[in-house]
Amino acid sequence: MRFFDPHIHMTSRTTDDYQAMADAGVRAVIEPAFWLGQPRTTVGSFVDYFSTLVGWERFRASQFGISHYCAIGLNSKEANDEGLTREVLELLPLYALKEGVVAVGEIGYDEITDAEERAYQAQLEFALEHDMVVMVHSPHRDKKNGVLRSMDVAAEVGIPMGKLVIDHNNEETVQSVLDRGAWAAFTLYPHTKMGSQRMVELVKQYGPERMIVDSSADWGVSDPLAVPRTAALMLEQGVDPDWVEQTCWQNALEVYAQSGQIDVAALEQKPQVDQSQLFGDSSILRGQEPRVDAAVVN
């Protein structure tokens, strides 16, 4: 099977992860901008980070036959540094309109402070002005309230619900997101947030429409193979293969292709890897034999 992981932080992952993902059938990923696990202290850190997302990381992914897209935005935690926020919001037009940027994200709330709300609103307005998809991070604490409020504010700004993805949902929030007409994404973490078994139950209960599975794998304990693993569990437990395809590939493609930044026809083709064309052995291969014309196994 083929998989689309529409929320994963690949800058924190190794080439072993890329290889395992490619072997497991992950063909495309979206890397939303977020924090580093600790707050940045200067806007230059954002410049380099955003540049990595549209540059080196995309190139790294391509070496494994994986199409790498990204979302650009100021995350909610760092929105609480208001001086920095002003500077980062000025950077937004320089990066969010680049090739392969499929959404503004991940943005939203962490503690639901006024500063977070101002940054969220400003970025929603930017998304509206440029007709972009929005990827929303829902908070860990006071989650249900945060999800409702992020949808309310997006609606007030005028974001069409068909262009709004609310991520990190759980059993308590999914119904309200689906009711509003937004897309409901689920982050599958080994120990916290959602587990694969709970995801199987949710798909059985709510069906596949506007439901999206992602790994959100990052620098923490997380699983870059969460999407293929969950798909396997769904199939094992009798979920209709079409539903698995929808939740682990098609829905993500549909919502983010609205950006016009995904060449859907190219993505549908079986990827070919030719590391010798593009890779430096001073960089990543470091002396391994390049893989040439090896079809990515999936």
Partner 1 sequence: MTSTRAQMSTTTTHADLYSWLDAALGSHWAEAGAAWWTQALERVGGGLSGSAFGATLSVASRYAPRVDLDPGADALDRAHEILPGWNPERWDVLEATRARLLLARPDLEEDSFASDLETLCQHADEGELRAIYKSLALLPEAGRFSTRAAEGCRTNIVPVFESVACDTPFPFAHFDDLAWNQMLIKGLFIGAPLVRVVGLDRRLNPELARMALDLADERRSAGRPVQPELWMCLGTHGGQRALDSLQHELASDHTAGRRAAYLGLARAGHEGLPEPDHQLSGVHERTLAGDIGRRSFTLLED
Residue 265 as a binder of partner 1 (CB under 8 A): the answer is no
Q: How far apart are CA 35 and CA 11, in angstroms?
A: 11
The residue within the footprint of partner 1, chosen from 41, 42, 99, 236 (CB under 8 A), is 99
Contact segment (CB under 8 A) with partner 1 among 11-19, 47-55, 144-152, 203-211 equals 47-55
Tell me how far, at minimum, the Cβ of 265 lies from partner 1, in Å. 13
Of 237 and 277, which has the nearer Cβ to partner 1?
277
Site for partner 1 in 269-298 (CB under 8 A): 276-284, 287
Tell me how far, at minimum, the Cβ of 12 lies from partner 1, in Å. 19
Residues 6+ apart with CB under 8 A from 91: 43, 46, 47, 50
Q: Following CA atoms 107, 109, 114, 119 in sequence, which dihedral angle do they give, to the nearest 10 degrees?
A: 0
- Residue 135 belongs to what H/E stretch? strand 133-137
Residue 98 as a binder of partner 1 (CB under 8 A): the answer is yes
Of 201 and 263, which has the nearer Cβ to partner 1?
263
**By CB neighbour count within 10 A (0-12 exposed, 13-18 middle, 19+ buried), where does 183 fall?**
buried
**By CB neighbour count within 10 A (0-12 exposed, 13-18 middle, 19+ buried), where does 24 fall?**
buried
SS3 80: helix
Tell me how far, at minimum, the Cβ of 276 lies from partner 1, in Å. 6
- Residue 155 belongs to what H/E stretch? helix 143-157
The residue within the footprint of partner 1, chosen from 37, 82, 97, 144 (CB under 8 A), is 97
Tell me how far, at minimum, the Cβ of 253 lies from partner 1, in Å. 19
How many residues bind partner 1, per CB under 8 A? 26
248: which DSSP letter?
I
Binding interface with partner 1 (CB under 8 A): 47, 51, 54-56, 58-59, 90, 93-95, 97-100, 260, 276-284, 287
